[in-house]
């Protein structure tokens, strides 16, 4: 039977304390999920989540305190915003976004906690093994995950997630609140842009490629790829290596 | 009540025309407000890759002007500005200007660019014609003036990232739009043009087909700083095209869309783009240009056209394509066109649409605010005898807004408009400007070198790569370095204060700044050390940005090492630096104008209006020149009437001394200090002193030997035909005109520019008086550029038949028993036609004045290979010579219409005025010196000097070289060539250079 490898990043304050008491049937949870305890679910850097998938997790469950009750005031809101971006990114990589889940739990209640874990585990069993596990792991998805990881490690997306709450809940620099919908549209656009650029970067760091070749690999119109290359060039992410006949070949530059 | 005037001018539009006008005005002692809608000046020229016919890099030749404008103490840049109200009248206007918020404090922003690197939001980069993206906080291009960032409020989400990152605290999200009222005496309009929107020509698929691009997009594609780094790529797939078609006249010469006029510059830029594309593409590229007429009518333009055909194998197809279709699989394009009567379909990888010029956007509003009239195409209304004047006194116009035109003509017209704007307020010269005063210079000759080194982080521009603090620690250990420090921004206003303080505190007598390029920043730092009492030549600059952090951005360690070496080498030079004096020469405020035609008279009159005395020398017994022979104008005005008024005005002007029946036979001396000899026909001679010389000696008409001219009375030149028409002696049932007589031939390869217009003028006159007369015009290309295209259209409509001929099928004229017969090939019906015309009118070329050679030798300026005078720079210095103080206008420059001569004459006056308005001129201090004891008098230096700054003088029987300090630019060519090493170069002595070399080559000193 398929035994999914699930990593649970669980907030110190959402993890029921009784799990640590010997009388408690720990077996109920531990065989189902490997818990990585953190101070706050808001600590979970998207880079860590994507890395966890890259290393072979079948599912990642983030558990934090329910919305108004974050032990650290608003780490859970941060976790929510990051999960949103991560799910957008996962959908671009080809790995099922449902393999990542953010849930809330109170430290005082065991049952809801184990229900959450069970439900998630069942869902992952349904999805089956991660395509990144095993001998025949999917190279394409793996490289997409790496690109996504680089995208969330880059400045733009981090700034946007970091400031989302401030901009949509409080005020921007012009004293205006940005409607959530508008912000999400913008975020979509930038997630797409950053993922594609880091994907191109990753591909060209492995091999010199032309616009058309990249377009075929990432399944986008070559015109869009050319546009990205123009922008990436001005950001010193990529450079022309040489021209073969009528085809310019590009190589990634090391990003500082 | 005495009329109050204001010595300030508002220039609307900061493209190359506006910039030129602003510089001329400011250099003439007037305050200038230069207003532009964009966040930076530079206009369209800043976006071009190369410029015809010299293929100079557009930005490279424009940047020095941008810098000069940005730094000029008398030019106040108002960017993101708009004129919203105007009151008052010529001499005393009040202009209300609205300035859009940049959301950036301009005095704090130093253009480091950190904000743009970190901004998470992107927008389409309009500067790159939407081919790439930029940040929501941006500057149009790296050399932009002012180098101040702007927030794109439409895009900015207000995330405060830039505010937190900006080290100078320049971001001001709450900055509001502001309004100011400017008091000015006159106004110059230079708002330029709006490129034609190619989606209007839907048959060409622009906007639908990715590989159909406009010529402006193609400029960006060609540009090394453009989206593709200068590689020509197809937008659809990033491949290099093998076959490109250029379609001319998109949005020009097109009655359907209402743009009947010709956009005047597209033929040349189309050819240029094809040439540059071929140079940029590593494979064999085929370029085809589809055209109606190739209008390469400017100076040496036909030369360029021939080179395109012969050297670059560019194919020219006389056809206006009907439409373009696309192969959706390959995104290749099919051009549907008709050639030689046959419909064809040809496949191309890429198509460039040569889009025309339209009147600037929102120009009606501007016209309303100003109260000026527009013409039928919404360009500025001007008239042929007042080409730079709008319909309202005190408001002048230049550049493409007056009519579509290329860069040199815009520049000439801009200077011309400056002359006119000055004339309104000449009495107020110097009243609104500031002159800088420095404290007395400290004598450092007895001091040991005490060098202060200031190393710039430039935010992270340098500091992000080069370890600046390490460089500082390193240089502190070098001998003679008395002080060193790092600055976040060495160029900032407060650092200037710091540098001055350090000079005092540490008794510094040499200062080095290690930062960016001396081209933009050296003047600033020189000024700073001068303010602290040091001679400006005791300053040196090291460029560790371009040469270290930029080119070695991925090797921080090596970049730091290189920065140390560069600074070390310049320290070695700095130890030897000597203070230099900038020679001050006095200026004779008198002008000498050669030639009393319309150009010479206008130039003289404009200078006289500015208050200068002028000697106007004319060889004939009366003034008037070539215009005397013109009986009609194409535009319908009466030339005789105009000429009479002009002559009267010149004769009445007490400042102008007219010398008739006279020639200038000697011009000696140099800028500001010429001594010239005027020789009269009666043998008398007169010596005059003058500060400038304007050459306006005109041109002459080609005497035809072709087509039985002189052998048959029915064959005449256009001028003779014009005279017959004017005198009522014309009688003919059939007239055939033949174009390009004596022009575009092997002997005289260039176009004579005005003959097509003359033919149209006479053809229309004939049709006006004798509508029954049949008129045929046999032409190679009808070059009725600009708004003259309307007359071409009118002539066609009135039944004038235009028939194209080529050099291999020239018309044949015979005289059969006293009857003229002409046979020519009619390409549309593909047949030979024979007519028996009563009159054959030859459109003969305007050719150089045969005296040009003598005049050129006399004033020591060059001629083109055709024999016209050769200006300092074909693009940006159209009326100057390389030799300072000598200027050029009218047909001596090249053939041109009266309005063009007038604009150029005003331009020459404006340029000359910038010199003679000054009592003294401060010249370059880093110049050559000759040690007479060593000089062997070999004259090698004299011949090599590009500025004719060396003269040979005889003393005690020995001839030695002397530097004319006023002319020397300090290039050092003479010094490098001197066989006896008698010449030393100030600021770049052999010792200084070698000290620098030795210090560079030294192994790095182990710290």
Q: Which chain B residues contact residue A211 at CB under 8 A?
A: 237-239
Name every residue in B having a CB less than 8 A away from some CB of A.
Answer: 118, 120-122, 131-133, 156-161, 163, 173-174, 210, 227-229, 231, 233, 235-242, 282-283, 464, 553-554
Q: What CATH number corresponds to the domain at position A15?
A: 3.40.50
Closest by Cβ to A248, choosing from B121, B133, B231: B231
> Given an 8 Å threshold on Cβ–Cβ distance, is B238 in contact with A245?
no
Closest by Cβ to A236, choosing from B241, B283, B553: B553
- Which is higher by pLDDT, A123 or A19? A123
Which of B120, B243, B329 to probe by mutation at the A interface, max A CB count within 10 Å? B120
Q: What CATH number corresponds to the domain at position A159?
A: 1.10.10.10
State whether residue B254 is helix, strand or coil: strand
**What is the CATH class of B101-176?**
alpha beta
- Tell whether the model's pLDDT for residue B841 goes beyond 50: yes
**What is the CATH class of B701-846?**
alpha beta
- Domain contains A146: no
- Domain contains A191: yes
- Tell whether the model's pLDDT for residue A256 goes beyond 80: no
Confidence of residue B846 (pLDDT cuts 50, 70, 90): very high
Residues B815-828, mean pLDDT to the nearest whole number: 92
Q: Which of B459, B468, B454, B453 is nearest to B556 (CA)?
A: B468
- Residue pLDDT, tens place only, B694-749: 999 999 999 999 999 999 999 999 999 999 999 999 999 999 999 999 999 988 89
Q: Which chain A residues contact residue B172 at CB under 8 A?
A: none
Q: Kindly identify which residue of chain A lies nearest to residue B120, measuring between CA atoms.
A: A156
- Tell whether the model's pLDDT for residue A140 goes beyond 80: yes
pLDDT at A30: 63
Residue ranges of the alpha helices (H) in B575-613?
598-609
- Residue pLDDT, tens place only, B611-649: 999 999 999 999 999 999 999 999 988 999 999 999 999
Is residue B318 classed exposed, middle or buried when 0-12, 13-18 and 19+ CB atoms within 10 A define those classes? middle
Please tell me the distance in Å from A203's CA to the nearest CA on chain B: 17
- Domain contains A92: yes
The torsion angle over the Cα atoms of residues B20, B25, B28 and B31, rounded to 10 degrees, is -140
Please tell me the distance in Å from A20's CA to the nearest CA on chain B: 43
> If you count residue pairs, one on A and one on B, with CB atoms under 8 Å apart, how many are there?
97
Residues B278-305, mean pLDDT to the nearest whole number: 94
Which of B134, B157, B223 to probe by mutation at the A interface, max A CB count within 10 Å? B157
Q: Which residues of B465-482 are buried (b: 16+ CB within 10 A; e: fewer)?
A: bbbbebbbebbeebeebb
> Given an 8 Å threshold on Cβ–Cβ distance, is A234 in contact with B132?
yes
Q: Kindly identify which residue of chain B lies nearest to residue A175, measuring between CA atoms.
A: B158
Name every residue in A having a CB less than 8 A away from some CB of B.
Answer: 155-157, 159-160, 163, 167, 172-174, 176, 178, 183, 186, 190, 193, 210-212, 215, 222-223, 225-227, 229-231, 233-234, 236, 240, 243, 245-248, 253-254, 256
Q: Which chain A residues contact residue B210 at CB under 8 A?
A: 223
- Give me the number of domains chain A comprises: 2
Q: Kindly identify which residue of chain A lies nearest to residue B228, measuring between CA atoms.
A: A230
Q: Are residues A160 and A109 part of one domain?
A: no
- Domain contains A138: no
pLDDT at B1005: 47
B640: phi then psi, degrees, rounded to nearest 5: -65, -45
Closest by Cβ to B159, choosing from A159, A223, A231: A159
* Cα–Cα distance measured from residue A110 to residue A96, given in angstroms and rounded to the nearest whole number: 28
Confidence of residue B967 (pLDDT cuts 50, 70, 90): confident
Closest by Cβ to A211, choosing from B157, B238, B242: B238
Confidence of residue B775 (pLDDT cuts 50, 70, 90): very high
pLDDT at B461: 80
* Cα–Cα distance measured from residue B553 to residue A256, given in angstroms and rounded to the nearest whole number: 10
- Residue pLDDT, tens place only, B172-217: 999 999 999 999 999 999 999 999 999 999 999 999 999 999 999 9
Closest by Cβ to B238, choosing from A186, A212, A245: A212
> Given an 8 Å threshold on Cβ–Cβ distance, is A155 in contact with B118?
yes
Q: CATH 3.30.70.20: which residues of chain B?
A: 927-985
Residues A48-58, mean pLDDT to the nearest whole number: 95
pLDDT at A18: 57
- Domain contains A162: yes
- Domain contains A16: yes
Q: Which chain A residues contact residue B122 at CB under 8 A?
A: 193, 231
Q: Which chain B residues contact residue A174 at CB under 8 A?
A: 158, 173-174
* Average pLDDT in chain A: 89
Superfamily of domain B590-698+849-917: FAD/NAD(P)-binding domain (3.50.50.60)
Closest by Cβ to B239, choosing from A229, A230, A246: A246
ipTM for the whole complex: 0.91
Q: Which chain A residues contact residue B174 at CB under 8 A?
A: 174
Q: Kindly identify which residue of chain B lies nearest to residue A182, measuring between CA atoms.
A: B157
> Given an 8 Å threshold on Cβ–Cβ distance, is A229 in contact with B210?
no
- Tell whether the model's pLDDT for residue B1003 goes beyond 70: no
Domain boundary among A127, A145, A166: A127
- Tell whether the model's pLDDT for residue B882 goes beyond 80: yes
Lowest mean pLDDT among A5-14, B265-274, B357-366: A5-14
* Cα–Cα distance measured from residue B195 to residue B213, given in angstroms and rounded to the nearest whole number: 13
Please tell me the distance in Å from A97's CA to the nearest CA on chain B: 25
CA distances from B931 to A126, B187, B955, B965 (A): 96, 51, 14, 14
* Cα–Cα distance measured from residue B766 to residue B760, given in angstroms and rounded to the nearest whole number: 10
Q: Are residues A72 and A173 part of one domain?
A: no
pLDDT at B517: 85
Please tell me the distance in Å from A81's CA to the nearest CA on chain B: 16
Task: Give yes or no for a contact between B108 and B203, defined as CB atoms under 8 angstroms apart.
Answer: no
Confidence of residue A24 (pLDDT cuts 50, 70, 90): low
Please tell me the distance in Å from B239's CA to the nearest CA on chain A: 5
Closest by Cβ to B282, choosing from A160, A190, A243: A243
Which of A81, A165, A173 to probe by mutation at the B interface, max B CB count within 10 Å? A173
Which of A246, A248, A256 to probe by mutation at the B interface, max B CB count within 10 Å? A246
State which CATH number among 3.40.50.10420, 3.50.50.60, 3.40.50.300, 3.30.980.10 fits the domain covering B1-99+178-193+359-432.
3.50.50.60
CA distances from A68 to A73, A83, B267, B603 (A): 8, 17, 69, 82
- Tell whether the model's pLDDT for residue B1007 goes beyond 50: no
Interacting residues of B641 by C-beta distance below 8 A, sequence separation 6+: none
Q: Are residues A177 and A106 part of one domain?
A: no
- Residue pLDDT, tens place only, A211-235: 999 999 999 999 999 999 999 999 9
- B927-985 folds as Alpha-Beta Plaits (3.30.70)
Closest by Cβ to B120, choosing from A190, A229, A256: A190
pLDDT at B612: 98
State which CATH number among 3.20.10.10, 3.50.50.60, 3.30.70.1070, 2.60.120.330 fits the domain covering B195-358.
3.50.50.60
- Longest CA pairwise span in chain A (Å): 74
- Domain contains A134: no
Domain at B451-574: CATH code: 3.40.50
Q: Which chain B residues contact residue A181 at CB under 8 A?
A: none
B762: phi then psi, degrees, rounded to nearest 5: -70, -35
Q: Which residue range forms the structural domain that includes residue A245?
A: 154-252
Helix (H) or strand (E) holding B419: helix B407-425
- Residue pLDDT, tens place only, B39-58: 999 999 999 999 999 888 89
Helix (H) or strand (E) holding B56: strand B56-57
Q: Are residues A18 and A114 part of one domain?
A: yes
* Average pLDDT in chain B: 94
> Given an 8 Å threshold on Cβ–Cβ distance, is B237 in contact with A226?
yes
Check residue B546 and report its DSSP letter. Answer: I
Q: Which chain A residues contact residue B282 at CB under 8 A?
A: 243
Q: How many helices and strands in chain A, by DSSP H and E? A: 8, 6
| Number of Cβ atoms within 10 Å of the Cβ of B683 | 6
Q: CATH 3.50.50.60: which residues of chain B?
A: 1-99+178-193+359-432, 195-358, 590-698+849-917, 701-846
Q: Are residues A38 and A121 part of one domain?
A: yes
Helix (H) or strand (E) holding B184: strand B178-184
- Domain contains A135: no
């Amino acid at each position: 039977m398929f035994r999914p490898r699930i990593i649970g990043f669980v907030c110190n304050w959402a993890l029921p304390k009784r799990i640590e008491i010997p009388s408690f049937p720990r077996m109920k949870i531990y065989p189902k999920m490997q818990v990585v305890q953190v101070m706050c679910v808001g600590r979970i850097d998207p880079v860590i989540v994507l890395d966890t998938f890259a290393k072979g997790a079948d599912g990642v469950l983030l558990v934090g305190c329910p919305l108004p009750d974050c032990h650290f005031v608003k780490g859970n809101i941060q976790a929510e915003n990051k999960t949103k971006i991560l799910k957008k990114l996962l959908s671009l990589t080809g790995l099922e976004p449902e393999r990542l889940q953010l849930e809330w739990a109170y430290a005082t209640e065991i049952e809801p906690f184990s229900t959450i874990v069970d439900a998630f585990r069942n869902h992952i069993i349904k999805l089956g093994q991660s395509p990144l596990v095993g001998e025949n792991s999917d190279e394409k998805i793996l490289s997409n995950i790496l690109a996504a990881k680089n995208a969330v490690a880059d400045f733009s997306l981090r700034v946007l997630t970091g400031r989302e709450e401030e901009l949509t809940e409080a005020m921007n620099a012009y004293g205006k609140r940005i409607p959530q919908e508008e912000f999400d549209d913008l975020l979509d656009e930038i997630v797409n842009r950053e993922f594609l650029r880091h994907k191109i970067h990753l591909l060209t760091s492995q091999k010199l490629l032309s616009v058309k070749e990249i377009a075929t690999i990432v399944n986008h119109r070559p015109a869009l790829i050319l546009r990205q290359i123009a922008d990436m060039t001005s950001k010193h992410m990529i450079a022309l290596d040489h021209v073969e006949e009528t085809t310019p070949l590009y190589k990634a530059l090391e990003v500082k | 009540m005495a009329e109050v005037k204001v010595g300030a001018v508002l220039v609307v539009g900061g493209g190359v025309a506006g910039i030129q006008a602003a510089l001329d005005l400011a250099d003439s002692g007037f305050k200038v407000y230069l207003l532009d809608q964009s966040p930076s000046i530079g206009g369209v020229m800043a976006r071009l890759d190369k410029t015809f016919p010299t293929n100079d890099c557009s930005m490279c030749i424009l940047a020095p002007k941008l810098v000069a404008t940005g730094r000029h103490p008398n030019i106040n840049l108002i960017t993101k500005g708009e004129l919203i109200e105007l009151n008052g009248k010529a001499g005393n206007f009040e202009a209300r200007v609205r300035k859009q918020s940049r959301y950036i404090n301009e005095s704090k922003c130093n253009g480091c660019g950190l904000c743009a690197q970190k901004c998470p939001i992107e927008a389409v980069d309009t500067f790159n014609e939407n081919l790439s993206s930029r940040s929501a906080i941006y500057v149009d291009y790296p050399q932009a003036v002012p180098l101040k960032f702007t927030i794109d409020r439409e895009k900015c989400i207000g995330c405060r990232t830039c505010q937190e990152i900006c080290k100078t605290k320049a971001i001001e999200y709450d900055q509001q739009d502001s309004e100011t009222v400017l008091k000015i005496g006159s106004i110059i309009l230079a708002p330029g043009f709006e490129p034609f929107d190619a989606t209007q020509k839907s048959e060409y698929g622009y906007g639908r087909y990715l590989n159909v691009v406009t010529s402006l997009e193609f400029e960006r594609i060609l540009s090394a700083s453009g989206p593709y780094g200068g590689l020509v790529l197809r937008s659809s797939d990033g491949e290099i095209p093998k076959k490109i078609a250029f379609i001319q006249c998109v949005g020009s010469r097109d009655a359907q869309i209402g743009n009947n006029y010709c956009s005047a510059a597209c033929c040349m830029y189309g050819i240029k783009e094809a040439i540059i594309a071929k140079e940029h593409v590593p494979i064999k590229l085929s370029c085809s240009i589809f055209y109606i007429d190739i209008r390469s009518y400017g100076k040496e333009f036909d030369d360029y056209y021939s080179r395109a055909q012969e050297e670059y194998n560019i194919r020219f197809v006389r056809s206006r394509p009907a439409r373009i279709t696309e192969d959706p699989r390959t995104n290749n394009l099919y051009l549907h066109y008709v050639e030689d009567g046959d419909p064809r379909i040809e496949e191309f990888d890429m198509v460039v649409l040569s889009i025309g010029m339209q009147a600037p956007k929102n120009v009606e509003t501007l016209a309303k605010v100003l109260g000026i009239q527009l013409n039928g195409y919404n360009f500025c209304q001007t008239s042929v005898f007042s080409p730079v004047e709008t319909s309202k006194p005190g408001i002048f116009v230049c550049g493409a807004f007056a009519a579509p035109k290329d860069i040199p003509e815009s520049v000439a017209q801009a200077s011309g408009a400056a002359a006119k704007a000055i004339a309104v307020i000449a009495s107020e010269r110097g009243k609104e400007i500031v002159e800088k005063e420095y404290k007395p210079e400290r004598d450092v000759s007895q001091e040991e070198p005490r060098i202060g080194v200031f190393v710039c982080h430039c935010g992270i521009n340098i500091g992000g790569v080069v370890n600046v603090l390490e460089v500082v620690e390193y240089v502190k250990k070098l001998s003679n370095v008395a002080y060193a420090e790092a600055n976040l921004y060495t160029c900032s206003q407060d650092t200037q204060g710091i540098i001055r303080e350090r000079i005092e505190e540490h008794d510094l007598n040499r200062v080095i700044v290690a930062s960016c390029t001396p081209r933009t920043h050296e003047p600033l730092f020189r000024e700073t050390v001068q303010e602290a009492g040091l001679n400006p030549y005791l300053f040196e600059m090291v460029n560790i940005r371009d040469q270290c952090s930029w080119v070695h951005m991925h090797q921080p360690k090596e970049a730091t090492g290189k920065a140390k070496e560069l600074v070390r080498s310049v320290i070695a030079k700095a130890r030897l630096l000597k203070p230099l004096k900038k020679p001050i020469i006095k200026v004779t405020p008198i002008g000498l104008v050669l030639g009393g035609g319309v150009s010479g008279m206008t130039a003289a009159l404009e200078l006289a209006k500015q208050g200068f005395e002028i000697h106007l020398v004319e060889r004939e017994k009366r003034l008037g020149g070539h215009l005397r022979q013109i009986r009609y104008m194409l535009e319908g005005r009466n030339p005789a009437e105009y000429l009479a008024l002009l002559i009267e005005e010149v004769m009445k002007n007490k400042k102008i001394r007219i010398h008739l029946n006279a020639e200038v036979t000697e011009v000696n001396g140099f800028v500001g200090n010429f001594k010239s000899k005027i020789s009269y026909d009666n043998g008398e001679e007169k010596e005059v002193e003058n500060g400038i010389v304007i050459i306006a000696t005109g041109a002459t008409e080609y005497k035809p030997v072709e087509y039985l001219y002189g052998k048959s009375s029915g064959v005449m030149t256009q001028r003779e035909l014009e005279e017959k028409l004017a005198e009522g002696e014309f009688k003919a049932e059939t007239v055939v005109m033949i174009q390009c007589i004596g022009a575009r031939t092997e002997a005289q390869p260039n176009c004579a520019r005005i003959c097509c217009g003359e033919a149209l003028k006479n053809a229309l006159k004939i049709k006006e008086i004798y509508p029954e007369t049949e008129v045929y015009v046999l032409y190679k290309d009808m070059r009725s550029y600009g708004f003259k295209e309307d007359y071409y259209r009118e002539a066609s409509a009135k039944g004038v038949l235009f028939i194209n001929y080529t050099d291999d099928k020239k018309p044949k004229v015979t005289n059969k028993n006293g009857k003229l017969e002409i046979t020519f090939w009619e390409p549309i019906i593909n047949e030979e036609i024979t007519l028996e015309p009563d009159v054959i009118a030859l459109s003969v070329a305007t050719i150089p004045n045969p005296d040009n050679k003598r005049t050129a030798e006399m004033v020591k300026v060059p001629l083109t290979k055709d024999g016209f005078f050769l200006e300092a720079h074909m693009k940006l210095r159209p009326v100057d010579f390389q030799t300072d103080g000598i200027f050029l206008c009218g047909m001596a420059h090249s053939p041109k219409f009266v309005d063009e001569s007038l604009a150029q004459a005003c331009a020459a006056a404006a340029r000359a005025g910038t010199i003679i308005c000054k009592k003294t001129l401060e010249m370059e201090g880093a110049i050559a010196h000759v040690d007479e004891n060593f000089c062997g008098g070999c004259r090698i230096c004299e011949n090599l000097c590009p500025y004719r700054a060396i003269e040979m003088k005889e003393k005690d029987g020995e001839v030695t070289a002397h530097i004319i300090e006023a002319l020397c630019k300090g290039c050092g060519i003479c010094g490098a060539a001197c066989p006896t090493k008698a010449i030393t170069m100030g600021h770049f002595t052999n010792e200084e250079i070698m000290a620098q070399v030795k210090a560079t080559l030294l192994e790095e000193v182990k710290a």
